[in-house]
Amino acid sequence: MSIKVGIVGATGYTGAELVRILSRHPEVELVSLITQNYADIPFWEVYPHLYKYNQMICEKLELTALLDASDVIFVALPHGHAMPIALDALRQGKKLIDLGADFRLNDYSVYEQWYKVEHTTRELLSKAVYGLPELNRKEIKGARLVANPGCYPTSVLLALAPLLNRKLIDPGSIIIDSKSGVSGAGRGLSLGTHFCEVNENFKAYNVGVHRHTPEIEQELSKLAGETVTVSFTPHLLPLTRGILSTIYAKLSKPVEQGEVLEYYQEYYLEEKFVRVLPGGLLPQTKWTAGTNHCDLGVALDSRTGRVIVVSAIDNMVKGASGQAVQNMNLICGLPEDTALNGPGLYP
């Protein structure tokens, strides 16, 4: 019996990536592709690369019909829009995976401070599970509401979890330098992502005020068992897909590079989507493009007493839609890697 899936926000970049992945998922039947701007238009006319892979017609949101038709609902909308959908979905016993930020932060006041939107379904926050499978697999399996992590936080949390687990670093010393491809800004038009602004350019943005900061700090604090405050600076790269995070932290005790690498290999030994690269090999965005992998590389700077971790993901897959499908597989009792296996494209 197939899982009936509806996608709200199907014609954004993350929604389209969900359609691409789920169109080849052997246990899924797509039943609704919801869009605000392309109702009554075949989905493949919006995204011709999916011609003959998906013949569905885009629809406007009719919440009752969506809930009646679906077992699992993905919401791929900007922050603030998933709350009313989630409320009705959970009332009707449906499962919902939110790719936005509405349920990532445990404290509604922190959400309101950083996102400047009132949280209207505060009662659901205690029911939401933070959907990073490598850290929260057990909780995700029993969840009905999953908060899919942000792209930057995914790259950072997977990079730092082994170090915090072993208490090898000073949690107050973490500096995160992250770079993202332009698709992370979404499909909407803006001057900042215009070709002429981005091409042959490289810039920092939202320095000290990026909305993923409290999410990163919240989850790192859980890993560390104490409050963690980080310096996080995102940058925009002139490429379509990919995130590369370079993370620096002060070692809390002397350790050899080989030992640290062994810690990482042991920590992620059973993980299908985290690849700990051999010593001397550092991740590149092209190596993860189109995949649900997170590649990790570790180096020690003995002169400064710091450890440097480099993390690479595809922001559209492991940073968004691929991880959302990974979460769906878990909550539906399917093999976690269903429809997500395989290497990426190169070059």
DSSP secondary structure string for all residues of 240-274? SS-EEEEEEEEBSS---HHHHHHHHHHHTTT-SSE
Query: SS3 string of 271-322?
Result: CCCEEECCCCCCCCHHHHCCCCCEEEEEEEECCCCEEEEEEEECCCHHHHHH
Omega of the bond leading into 347 within 30 degrees of 0 (cis): yes
Centre a 10 Å sphere on the Cβ of residue 189 and count the other Cβ atoms it contains.
7
Query: 3-state DSSP call for residue 90?
Result: helix
Q: CB neighbours of 107 closer than 8 A, spacing ≥ 6?
A: none
Q: CB neighbours of 337 closer than 8 A, spacing ≥ 6?
A: 272, 273, 292, 326, 329
Query: 3-state DSSP call for residue 134?
Result: helix
Q: Active-site residues: which are they?
A: 151
- DSSP state for residue 208 in the 8-state scheme: T
Q: Structure tokens of 344? A: 């990426």
AA identity, residue 273: F
- DSSP state for residue 58 in the 8-state scheme: P
